[in-house]
Amino acid sequence: MIEEGTTAPDFELETETGETVRLSDFRGKPVILYFYPRDNTPGCTKEACDIRDAWSKFERRGVVVLGISPDDPASHTRFKTKYQLPFTLLADTEHDVAKLYGTWRPKRMAGKSFLGIIRSTFLIDAEGKVVKVWPKVDPAKHANGCSPSCQSRAPRRLSSTLLVRMRGLEPPRAEAHTDLKPCASTNSATSARNSILAAAQRSDNSSDPSVSQPIELQRPARSS
């Protein structure tokens, strides 16, 4: 698996719309690159919904989020539309990028061995360096509160933990998100998201301590 402190390998993949993008297209912005096994499975849906529900926090910090799985663009389109995901999904159908980052590895389930995606997340800074790695992410065990659109008896408010770790942000007002597709039922949300946001903030501060204004998120121009 790619280690912290190394340069993130560049790659080229198709988005859910069929547009081809490269990791280097986003140079100058921090990037969250997260690998997940499959669209529309419970754990992957929970993980995607958790990022969706905290999207304003990522957007304020100018963080680009790229989700990668072996699913094809058509599957990504259905997944993204169903749960109204605001970030880009990339189709790694041949597992080339997963192999490059060390997330395509042997797994065991029900006594059988097979190759598959190890759920992992990488934070890449504006210069293209890997500054944080979260290997073997388990969304069911990274809990601290509940995202607003998840069906749960837990408090319906995003964790205040990320707010005290992010400089210059005021606590957001609670939002109902009644128009969003609920993610899988759970009694807790993923605190890994909070760690990602905190690490993104530290990376942003280390590159330019004077920056306090949010960076406007921009997608690369569509190829003609």
What pLDDT is recorded for position 149? 34
**Which amino acid does the sequence have at 44?**
C
> What's the pLDDT at 203?
63
The residue among 51, 33, 37, 47 whose CA lies nearest residue 132 is 33
98-107: which pairs have CB atoms within 8 A and are 24 or more residues apart? 98/35, 98/68, 98/70, 100/2, 100/9, 100/11, 101/1, 101/2, 101/9, 101/33, 101/35, 102/1, 102/2, 103/1, 103/35
With respect to residue 133, please indicate whether it lies within any of the assigned structural domains: yes
Q: The CATH number of the domain where 105 resides is what?
A: 3.40.30.10
Q: Report pTM.
A: 0.69
Return the ∠ at Cα 92 (arms to 80 and 14), rounded to 5°.
65
**Spatial separation of the C-alpha atoms in residues 186 and 153, rounded to whole Å:** 9
Rg of the chain on CA atoms, in Å: 17
Taking Cα atoms as reference points, which of 193, 170, 16 lies closest to residue 92?
A: 16
The answer to the question of residue 178 being in a domain is: no
Instruction: Judge whether 55 lies within some domain.
Output: yes
Domain with 59 in it: 12-143+190-207
Exposure class string for 6-15: b at 16+ Cβ within 10 A, else e: eebeebebbb
Which member of 44, 49, 146, 183 is catalytic? 44
Pairwise CA distance, residues 32 & 89, whole Å: 12
- Count of structural domains, the chain: 1
Within a domain: residue 181? no
The answer to the question of residue 198 being in a domain is yes
Provide the pLDDT for residue 172: 40
DSSP 8-class letter at 182: P
Query: Per the domain annotation, does 88 fall within a domain?
Result: yes
Asked whether residue 104 is assigned to any structural domain, the reply reads yes
Output the tens digit of pLDDT for each of the chain's 224 residues.
999 999 999 999 999 999 999 999 999 999 999 999 999 999 999 999 988 988 998 899 999 999 999 999 999 999 999 999 999 999 999 999 999 999 999 888 888 888 999 999 999 999 999 999 999 887 754 333 323 233 332 323 322 333 233 333 333 444 444 566 666 544 444 566 666 766 766 666 555 544 444 444 455 555 54
For residue 111, what pLDDT is reported? 84
* Assigned domain for 202 exists: yes
Alpha helices in the chain (DSSP H): 42-53, 55-60, 73-83, 96-101, 161-165, 191-207
Which pLDDT does position 182 carry in this prediction?
63
Contact at 8 Å (CB) between 152 and 187? yes
Q: Which residues contact 131 (CB under 8 A, 6 or more apart)?
A: 4, 5, 123, 124, 125, 199, 202, 203
Are 147 and 51 a contacting pair, CB within 8 Å?
no
Residue 183 a catalytic site member = no
